[in-house]
Amino acid sequence: EDQVTQSPEALRLQEGESSSLNCSYTVSGLRGLFWYRQDPGKGPEFLFTLYSAGEEKEKERLKATLTKKESFLHITAPKPEDSATYLCAVGVAGGTSYGKLTFGQGTILTVHP
């Protein structure tokens, strides 16, 4: 069974305090790992797609990396506006699972000024 586990469940940082969020996955065949940001009461906002181990993507203060078993979302010098829930999802290759994403439960990030 495909599984995605995110840690920690919640993370509190001071403004400027860099840290990382983890996404561990077990899938039969990876067809992309996806990071989303979700603000309270809103739909998830797409951030990154990673397809192969060693790949990295950056956007402002965020950097996503991928290995064969996990992905990290590094947050450098965060600001209060980075506070949100960050969701990780994996796409599975082949068969009737084509197009489906399996999501982790999310990490709630709070950045204090």
Partner 1 sequence: DGGITQSPKYLFRKEGQNVTLSCEQNLNHDAMYWYRQDPGQGLRLIYYSQIVNDFQKGDIAEGYSVSREKKESFPLTVTSAQKNPTAFYLCASSVFDNNEQFFGPGTRLTVL
Residue 71 CA neighbour count, 13 Å, CB half: 33
- Distance, CA of 104 to CA of 88 (rounded, Å): 6
**Residue 96 makes contact with partner 1 by CB under 8 A:** yes
For partner 1, which residue of 20, 28, 59, 98 counts as binding (CB under 8 A)?
A: 98
Residue 41 CB neighbour total at 10 angstroms: 5
* Stretch of residues binding partner 1 (CB under 8 A), selected from 11-19, 54-62, 66-74, 87-95: 87-95
Q: Which residue has the tokens 């797609």?
A: 49
Residue 12 sits in the site that holds partner 1 (CB under 8 A): no
**Interacting residue with partner 1 among 19, 32, 70, 76 (CB under 8 A):** 32
Q: Given candidates 22, 31, 61, 76, which one binds partner 1 under the rule CB under 8 A?
A: 31
**Rule CB under 8 A: is residue 21 a binding residue for partner 1?**
no
61 contacts 46 by C-beta, under 8 angstroms: no
| 8 Å CB contact between 10 and 108 | yes
Q: How far is the CB of 83 from partner 1 (least distance, A)?
A: 17
CA distance 108 to 11: 6
What residues make contact with partner 1 under the rule CB under 8 A? Answer: 4, 31-32, 34, 36, 41-46, 49, 87, 89, 91, 96, 98-101, 103-106
